[in-house]
Amino acid sequence: MTVLDLFRLDGRVAAVTGANSGIGRAAAGALAGAGADVAYISRRDPAEAVVDATAEGRRAVHVPLELAEADEDRCAAVVGEVVDRLGRLDILVNNAGTIHRDDAEVHRVDDFARILQLDLTALYGLCRAAGRHFLRQGSGRIINIASVLSFQGGVRVRVPGYTAAKHGVVGVTRALANEWAGRGVNVNAIAPGYLETNNTISLQQDPERYAAILDRIPAGRWGVPADIAGAAVFLASDASGYVHGAVLAVDGGWLAR
């Protein structure tokens, strides 16, 4: 076996939330490219994204989930459906979420609670449901998508609910890693920097803000979803077997500034 063989995912099944576009689609396509079959967990039918997996010769299914309704029973049902349709589950990528931009003085409490449900509570529910399955089988990988705003308050980004949720994602990741590392389950996170995705459309369309953010990125460019692909495969594979509770920043050096 060569070191590159450690990155292969042949015979494994991955479930990716929010895989219709952006980071989720890039991660799902990369996992398929490494050999995994993929369950696309999303509210909308990801017909175009599924092509990425089938083009790699992998099986792909859509499992519907509305994050606003992702209570304990629904999360357990989603995990059960993936196992029923693809025969097993080895990897969970929690990517789905949303963002709400408003100055804090007008960012309503109900909007704050909605963001926490979509970006943190649903994520924990899926971690718990998949984690129970992984503990029974003695192995599994959970990859949560955090953010550079898991470590910062943000400068002129106006997203207090999102920032709080992403701080929580790191806390959940570390707490579960501490509990499950000794039982064969790896729980880690990826913290993307500023990427050109649907969540950052308003920033991309503001020339002043776009330039100010770009000026702070040591790599000299905004990221794109494909920049997350390698990190997702690494954390899903045997190459990261001794990695637990890590938060891997993929940010062009943003947090190093």
pLDDT at residue number 181 = 98
Tens of pLDDT, residues 151-206 = 988 766 678 889 999 999 999 999 999 999 999 999 999 999 999 988 778 888 88
Only one residue has tokens 């943190």, namely: 120
pLDDT above 80 for 84: yes
What is the distance between the alpha carbons of residues 45 and 136, in angstroms, rounded to a whole number? Answer: 30
Cα first-last separation, the chain: 39
- Please give the positions annotated as active site: 162
pLDDT at residue number 12 = 98
Q: Which two tokens stand for residue 117?
A: 């449900």
What is the distance between the alpha carbons of residues 187 and 123, in angstroms, rounded to a whole number? Answer: 13
pLDDT at residue number 147 = 96
pLDDT at residue number 28 = 95
pLDDT at residue number 203 = 80
Q: Which two tokens stand for residue 224?
A: 């794109």
The pLDDT of 65-88, averaged and rounded, is 96
pLDDT above 70 for 6: yes
Tens of pLDDT, residues 21-58 = 899 999 999 999 999 999 999 988 776 777 788 878 99
- Higher pLDDT among residues 58 and 99, named by residue: 58
CA angle 139, 143, 144 (to 5 degrees): 140
Q: Would you kindly state where each structural domain of the chain is located, as residue ranges?
A: 3-248
pLDDT at residue number 156 = 64
**Backbone angles phi and psi of 112, in degrees to 5:** -60, -45
Given a contact cutoff of 8 angstroms between Cβ atoms, the answer to whether 196 and 216 are in contact is no
Tens of pLDDT, residues 104-149 = 777 789 988 999 999 999 999 999 999 999 999 999 999 999 999 9
Which of 171, 250, 235 lies closest to 9 in space, CA to CA? Answer: 235
Give 15's contacts (C-beta < 8 A, 6+ positions apart): 38, 39, 41, 63, 78, 79, 82, 89, 91, 92, 93, 130
CATH topology of domain 3-248: Rossmann fold (3.40.50)
pLDDT at residue number 155 = 67
pTM of the model: 0.95
What is the distance between the alpha carbons of residues 159 and 163, in angstroms, rounded to a whole number? Answer: 6
Element (H, E) at 83: helix 72-86
